[in-house]
Copies of this chain bind each other. A is one copy, B any other.
Amino acid sequence: MKNNLTPLEPKADKATVRRHNLSLVLRAVHDAGEATRAGVATHVGLTRAAVSSLVEQLLEYGFVSEGGKTSSGQAGRPGTVLRVSRSGPAGLGVEINIDYVTVCVVDLAGTDRVRLVEHVDNRGVQPSEVLARAARLAARAVGSAAEQDLVPVGVHVALPGLVTGGTVRQAPNLGWQRVAVEGLFAQALLALRPLHRPLPVSSDNEANAAALAELWYGAGTEGVRSFLYLTGEIGIGGALVLRGELLRGAHGFAGEIGHMVVDPDGPLCRCGARGCLEQYAGQSALLEAAGIDAGTGMQGVAELERRARRGESAARSAIERAGRHLGVVVSGAVNLFDPDAVMLGGVYRELMDWLAPAVDRELARRVVSGLWSEDGKRLRASSSLGDAARGAAGVIVREVLADPAAHAERDAG
């Protein structure tokens, strides 16, 4: 009689309304930076009375704080300034990458308040050990946060690999396979901070987190809400943001662009297939083509950049060639997704000057909508703010902004 094929959203009631509007008001203040009750009211469409009541609750919870009066210059009674509180709940972001671990704490307003980086080669190390080290770093960050009256309400861990349901299915560059990151990390963290209630742990792909950082703290703040994000590293990571939302796919693997095909009969890739993009535009391929030892890592890239800047043709043509292949694949992705912009991060950022023209040429030629060439500057370098740790922390912050009441209650209970 009843088939559950189409899952329905939850019902709505008074409480739903309250939660929704509470979030709305908080985000209005967040986005504005500074606002008054009346301003928020006109912006979100609620009555001043309703906003007053909501703000009162947010003040109680400690999510917003009152400043002085607005020295408006206009007629009328000045309003009281509201700001998102700079203390209280915060997001803890962790990025575990090939040769470093970064942890940061971001407050509700979105500013980076604590940042710790540890350079360490994680390749071949036991996952549990890597996660334990990351947890130690995270615990230190929580300590520093406490000194600033910030209390992380959750951790989000970003890793370079396919992650779904709290476990890394595979992370070839780390050599990981089927690692239950969330569980292991939570356990390690709990062992370090036994007094506190356990922090909820979530996890995601590193490129996804970086793209979200770009959305929330980088280009997104300038109005770019749909973009394809690429990071050239050892592998090539990719993520998609559409209308301000990360596209995760059915299982959370969306965005894997590194293994799109350049030439079906091309060189063998470590994924087992032939002719993947990584073999043409990955870090190693780039360096090899320019005649630089691929084992030198970031130093190699810096060297490549110097040579290109000096005008060495071998370097430039190596970059140009990679850019052409990148452009071919990216134009396919643009046709599939129809984003507003393409953002290049990682090693591509440094090589942008020589890479961009080649990529752009292919895009102009191959993007079928014809929109590409029309209004220019749709290919851009990722802002340096787009780092995965910050994006990861942002995920937590966003959760709080989306439902402040839930977090306040949890805090109280």
Contacts and interface: CB of A to CB of B under 8 A. Distances in A.
Interface of A: 1-3, 5-6, 8-14, 16-17, 20-21, 24, 27-28, 31-35, 39, 43-46, 162, 169-170, 220-223, 225-226, 238, 240, 242-244, 247-264, 271-273, 324-325, 328-329, 331-333, 335-340, 365-366, 368-371
Copies per assembly: 2
Contact of A338 (B12, B242, B251, B271): B251
A225 B4 CA distance: 13
B333 A2 contact: no
Ordered nearest first, which 3 A-B pairs have the shortest CB separation? Answer: A249-B338, A226-B250, A260-B332
Given A226-B250, A250-B338, A1 B35 contact: yes
A2 B366 contact: no
A110 to B, nearest CB: 11
Contacts of A35: 1-2
15 contacts: A2-B32, A3-B33, A8-B27, A12-B21, A226-B250, A240-B336, A242-B247, A248-B338, A249-B339, A251-B338, A254-B336, A260-B336, A261-B366, A264-B324, A332-B332
B6 A31 contact: yes
Contacts of A366: 259, 261, 271, 273
A338 B222 CA distance: 29
B32 A8 contact: no
Given A17-B12, A261-B332, A338-B252, A3 B32 contact: yes
A16 B11 contact: no
